[in-house]
Structure 1
Amino acid sequence: MFFSIIIPLYNRPQEIKELLESLMRQTYRQFEVLVIEDGSVKDAKDIVATFTGELDVHYYFKPNEGQGFSRNFGFERAKGDYFIIFDSDILVPENYLEVVNNRLETDYLDAYGGPDDAHPSFTPMQKAISYSMTSPFTTGGIRGNKKGIGQFHPRSFNMGVSRQVWQKLGGFIITRLGEDIEYSIRIHTAGFKIGLIPEAKVYHKRRTSYSQFYKQLHFFGRSRINIYKFFPSELKAVHFFPAVFTLGVMFTLIANLFGWPVAWLGNAVLVIFTLLIFFHSLSKNKSLKVAFLSIGAAFIQLIAYGLGFMQDYGKRIILKQS
């Protein structure tokens, strides 16, 4: 099978260099790479050009439209039987394409997703954020986990779709704010077979500071409401958990400030949650520093998502603003 790897890029030249270096080491070699520069000020044209002799790589520059429409741009120019979508901030294990090809040859999927993990070379902050984004205590196991809750929706940091899916459904119809989940739901609805390939993992750098992580998760919270506007039935009880958690933290802070007796209950819940995050992260990462940073990452993840969710729930559902 011939794969077309499509990578939208926006002002991240160093990231694409590291990603292309990891693709050079693939044990399965039947693939091309399309780098779609989405109107960047800091473009990566010269960096990508250095890989021309090592990879079947194609570089395109287009006006800024967002990652969803940049992937569509790549779909239209891809030669492959199967399209693989990566974010620019990942590293790919050397057997990734071999794993995917073997799965598709033995148990074909029209679309798939894979999990993400932290690479040993990542900073403690990146490892803590990676832990938070994959922890059962913050996500409920819904990201790249075969025991996750509900229907599996591939995410665009590590996602593949067949040419047949694209020919029938087209590409992304929104360019950001949950565009990958919307696409996954349409693929499911059309009757295509979607699945998780647990061994097809990537190393996801994510954000490098709490402030960047906050902005990203606030955006994710808003994205969930955007998906609701397309598919109301996809808004599940689990999606309200970060908002409930955020309101609980706020209430506990107020209760402590005013000396309300009920404050002990909120304090106890937060202490238990903090200890669960710390010791679970410690067992996975074998690092006290990462475990401590994971506490902050977990609170930021839930609160930022919860605030973004409540913001757009109020504006777009209650007040019905566009």
Structure 2
Amino acid sequence: MKFSVIIPVFNRPDELRELLHSLTKQSIADFEVVVIEDGSTIDSKKVITSFDDLLQFQYLVQANTGQGFARNNGMKIAKSEFFVILDSDVILPKDYLQELARAIDIRKLDAFGGPDAADKDFSALQKAMDFAMTSFWTTGGIRGKMKDPAKYQARGFNMGVSRKVFEATGGFVDPNQGEDIEWSIRIKKAGFKLELVKDAFVYHKRKNTLTSFAKQAFSFGRNRVNVSRFHPGAIKLVHWLPTAFLLFSLSIPFFFFVNKLLFLLSTGVFIIWSVGVIISSAVQNKSAKVGILSWFTSVLQLWSYGLGLPLELFRKYVKG
């Protein structure tokens, strides 16, 4: 088999059903599916059974260990030479595995990371959250739109490694806190070729509310600090930009009492950024509603990440 698709799942059988359905539509069929039930109280056995005639399965039930270690256990029993790691809340375009196979063969990749996108059938809020996580206006393209694919750090919702990489590096060393970024850095340090494959994108069907979306972005900021425990240079200038945005946007009202010109300039910059976000998202999604929602999700994402990073650094270095 060309691929083993590794899917950890925790109490999300309906999500898994959608992902498995998209796997049955793949333009190549040379793969197995390894589902790891990570301590679920609502298992996915019935869902998996309903696809038995369409997909090749391995089904592992275990006590809860966290998604990183669950993925490791899935890779240990996988039969192929290349492991594709997916989160249960993604849906695959029909040519996903074909595009991935082509990139691996032509570019001689040992590992890869792929971007995410919003399907046309997603809700307005899901599209707005996707924009906030992937747009140049918010993340600068580091989640899948960068020019140099070799600089990409794979995310666990859509990444993969060869069996050789897994055996040489040992897989994930942290179950839940930036474990994908940490492993990406370690893979490259070990001399393996990990690159972004832009055409191997997934539709990321986030189930977040605005509150849970903010909590997730906050944890991403904290996780970057956790990665720096293993790799001291993991926090770069680009990761401080959300904190700079947070401080800048919250300072605008105070500039009115300090310096009127500074207030006008800062207000103008914020308005330009806001208009850019709204128009860019509205055009991309062909919806003014999504454009306006994207302003809220973008501010929320930047503020939350921008708060999580310094607070976790404070906890790490000041509070020990």
TM-score (norm: length of structure 1) = 0.95
Partner residue of 1:123?
123
Distance 2:273 2:150 in 1: 24
1:65-80 aligned at under 5 Å gives the runs 65-80=65-80
Distance 1:27 1:149, change over 3 A: closer
Distance 1:6 1:305 in 2: 28
Distance 1:229 1:149, change over 3 A: farther
Partner residue of 2:291?
291
Partner residue of 1:32?
32
* Deviation at residue 42 of structure 1 after TM alignment: 2.0
* Deviation at residue 209 of structure 1 after TM alignment: 2.0
Partner residue of 2:249?
249
SS of 1:120's partner is coil
SS of 2:80's partner is coil
Distance 1:76 1:251 in 2: 51
Partner residue of 2:59?
59
Any unmatched runs of 5+ in structure 2?
none
Q: Decide whether the 8 Å contact of 1:281 with 1:291 is kept in 2.
A: yes
* Deviation at residue 263 of structure 1 after TM alignment: 3.3
Bigger mean CA deviation after superposition, 199-208 or 62-71: 199-208
SS of 1:278's partner is helix
Q: Decide whether the 8 Å contact of 2:150 with 2:194 is kept in 1.
A: no
Letter in 1 for 2:292: F
Partner residue of 2:303?
303
* Deviation at residue 149 of structure 1 after TM alignment: 9.3
Distance 2:137 2:30 in 1: 39
Q: Decide whether the 8 Å contact of 2:155 with 2:181 is kept in 1.
A: yes
Distance 2:29 2:271 in 1: 50
Counterpart check, 1:86 vs 2:104: no
Letter in 1 for 2:191: G
1:254-269 aligned at under 5 Å gives the runs 254-255=254-255, 261=260, 262-269=262-269
Counterpart check, 1:273 vs 2:266: no
SS of 1:212's partner is helix
Name the Cα RMSD after superposition: 1.6
Q: Decide whether the 8 Å contact of 2:149 with 2:197 is kept in 1.
A: no
Distance 2:223 2:58 in 1: 31
Letter in 2 for 1:35: V
Q: Render the CA deviation track for 1:105-124: whole Å, top value 9, x for unaligned.
A: 22210001111110011000
TM-score (norm: length of structure 2) = 0.95
Q: Decide whether the 8 Å contact of 1:4 with 1:83 is kept in 2.
A: yes
Distance 2:150 2:288 in 1: 33
* Deviation at residue 312 of structure 1 after TM alignment: 0.1
Distance 2:36 2:16 in 1: 11
Q: Decide whether the 8 Å contact of 2:131 with 2:281 is kept in 1.
A: yes
Distance 2:197 2:150 in 1: 16
* Deviation at residue 99 of structure 1 after TM alignment: 1.2
Q: Decide whether the 8 Å contact of 1:217 with 1:301 is kept in 2.
A: yes
Partner residue of 2:175?
175
Partner residue of 1:44?
44
Q: Decide whether the 8 Å contact of 1:142 with 1:148 is kept in 2.
A: no
Distance 2:61 2:259 in 1: 59
Partner residue of 1:227?
227
SS of 1:217's partner is helix
Identity of aligned residues (%): 43
Bigger mean CA deviation after superposition, 188-197 or 206-215: 206-215
Distance 2:115 2:62 in 1: 30
Distance 1:215 1:46 in 2: 32
* Deviation at residue 101 of structure 1 after TM alignment: 1.4
Partner residue of 2:104?
104
Q: Decide whether the 8 Å contact of 1:142 with 1:149 is kept in 2.
A: no
Distance 1:225 1:249, change over 3 A: same
Q: Decide whether the 8 Å contact of 1:146 with 1:198 is kept in 2.
A: no
* Deviation at residue 283 of structure 1 after TM alignment: 1.6
Letter in 1 for 2:13: P
Q: Render the CA deviation track for 1:56-92: whole Å, top value 9, x for unaligned.
A: 0222221111110010010111001100000111000
Number of aligned residues: 319
Partner residue of 1:165?
165
Q: Decide whether the 8 Å contact of 2:2 with 2:30 is kept in 1.
A: yes
SS of 2:151's partner is coil
SS of 2:144's partner is coil
Any unmatched runs of 5+ in structure 1?
none
1:182-193 aligned at under 5 Å gives the runs 182-193=182-193
* Deviation at residue 183 of structure 1 after TM alignment: 0.3
* Deviation at residue 253 of structure 1 after TM alignment: 4.0
Q: Decide whether the 8 Å contact of 1:67 with 1:175 is kept in 2.
A: yes
Counterpart check, 1:136 vs 2:132: no
1:204-243 aligned at under 5 Å gives the runs 204-243=204-243
Q: Decide whether the 8 Å contact of 1:116 with 1:203 is kept in 2.
A: yes
Distance 1:150 1:85, change over 3 A: closer
Distance 1:267 1:81, change over 3 A: same
Distance 2:316 2:195 in 1: 32
Partner residue of 1:10?
10
